[in-house]
Amino acid sequence: MLLCFVGTNFHGWQVQPNLRTVQGTLSDALGMLFGEKVKLIGCCRTDAGVHAKEYIANFRSSKFFPIDNLLKALNSILPEDIGIKKVWLEDLSFNARYSVAGKLYTYRVFPSLARDPFLEPFVWRIPYSLDIESMKRGAELFLGNYNFSGFAKLDEEEHDPFVEIEECKIEEKDRIIEISVRAKRFLRYMVRRMAGCLIYLGMGKLTVDEIKEFLSGKKCPYTAKAKGLTLERVFL
């Protein structure tokens, strides 16, 4: 299934005891409809507060539910901060975590003293001006295959810190600066720390040489706020 969610009131994707998560909420809804416990597999983890415009998940069931009816039923019982866009049948070998070809994240930062409550849940608003050209030069540093252990919280099952960044670009749209990053896979906290580096570079509080040190393994302490990050697209 293809879904989307506003992450503000979720503690991320992955099920956690006694916490509201996207996976837990959606699994409960599927269990209600299918009358059995459903194991739901997602294309990636998301941190608490992170949003997704596109997210791929899959599950198997011993019972059949007509696709169109399932789409309608899920959207009728799920809370308003989760939406199902599409449901379809896949080969049994499909696994949302491993079958996707890539992901595109966008981090949005709003350099402004004025506050807009319609933007506030989806951007990191900072009371500083940003040098976009410096940020663009900084973004080029990330292109290629690097050891991103300095940008990540490595999980026990994550043994490979090398990630190839296919795209890292900076654009300004309606005074909001968008940092877009595309790769096949990402490490935990990686995009938020990349964004944090570029934002602090734009504020003049960080240098290009310091970013190079982070790419050489030094721990990056600049983590951008979760609410500014959105999983924009998932590529199959």
Catalytic amino acids? 47
Sign of CA dihedral 66, 71, 72, 78: positive
Contacts of 99 (CB under 8 A, 6+ apart): 93, 236
Residue at token pair 């949005």: 108
Distance (Å, whole) CA 29 – CA 18: 17
How many alpha carbons lie under 13 Å from residue 73 in its C-beta half-sphere?
Answer: 14
What phi, psi does 202 have (nearest 5°)?
A: -65, -30
Q: What is the DSSP string of 101-120?
A: -EEEEEEEEEE-SS--TTTG
Radius of gyration (C-alpha) of the chain in whole angstroms: 19
Cα distance between the two ends of the chain = 12
Distance (Å, whole) CA 121 – CA 81: 12
Best CA proximity match to 224, nearest among 132, 113, 123: 123
Distance (Å, whole) CA 81 – CA 85: 13
